[in-house]
Amino acid sequence: MKRERIELDDADRRLLQAMQNDASLSQADLAERAGVSPSLVSRRLTRLKEAGVLRAVVGLIDPESAGLTCSAIIRIRLRDHSAANVKMFHDLIKRMDEVTLCVMLTGEADYLVKIIARDLPHFQEIIQSKLLRCAAIAHLESSIVLEHLKDTTALPIG
């Protein structure tokens, strides 16, 4: 269900930017960065959460520090776009903890999937035991990530 879009004022944008940079800041620090009182920070954050603008407040984990040294981008083409086939693929992706991103595309590939694995053998196991066994998938092409030039969750809201 799509939520109704709300208008963001400059203080909302500054507050969201501060949250994107460091969500562990105190309300006083957030208020200072947003240019509002600390009591307004709580009300604004509640409003932004209820509107779906602020989806979650999470801690970001460095994959390599956590022992996840292999990242890959996979382009997937489905056998067909029947409702049953699409559902089968969606259900598989939702069950796979290793998938950190899945988007539907225009063009030759139907989906782009990002997988984070412990290492190359673990990545191979994921491909062989999960993706290649999915009857909904006609073709997949994977690329191992060699270097992350930019990897951010921050949105350009400023």
Topology of 10-50 in CATH? Arc Repressor Mutant, subunit A (1.10.10)
CATH 2.40.50.100 fits 70-144, yes or no: no
The candidate with the shortest Cα–Cα distance to 48, out of 36, 56, 58, is: 56
33-45: per-residue pLDDT in tens?
A: 999 999 999 999 9
Q: How confident is the model at residue 24 (pLDDT cuts 50, 70, 90)?
A: very high
Strand order in the sheet with 137-144: 99-104, 111-117, 70-78, 137-144
Residue % of the chain over a pLDDT of 70: 97
Is the backbone of residue 67 left (phi > 0), alpha (psi -120 to 50) or beta?
left
Let me know: does 42 contact 21? Beta carbons within 8 Å: no
- CATH 3.30.70.920 region(s) of the chain? 70-144
Q: Name every residue whose Cβ is closer than 8 Å to that of residue 114 and which is 6 or more positions away in sequence.
A: 71, 72, 73, 74, 99, 100, 101, 102
Provide the pLDDT for residue 112.
98
d(CA 11, CA 45): 11
Nearest to 140 by CA among 96, 69, 97, 89: 89
Where, residue-wise, is CATH 1.10.10.10 in the chain? 10-50
Q: Give the residue ranges of DSSP H helices in the chain.
A: 10-21, 27-34, 38-50, 83-95, 120-126
What pLDDT does 2 receive?
Answer: 58
Length of the chain, please? Answer: 158
Query: Quick check: 5 pLDDT over 90?
Result: no
Q: What is the pLDDT of residues 59-116, one digit of tens each?
A: 899 999 999 999 999 999 999 999 999 999 999 999 999 999 999 999 999 999 999 9
Residue type, 31: A
Residue 1 scores a pLDDT above 90: no
Short-list 134, 154, 141, CA closest to 72: 141
Confidence label for 158 from pLDDT (cuts 50, 70 and 90) = confident
Looking at residue 3, its pLDDT comes to 64
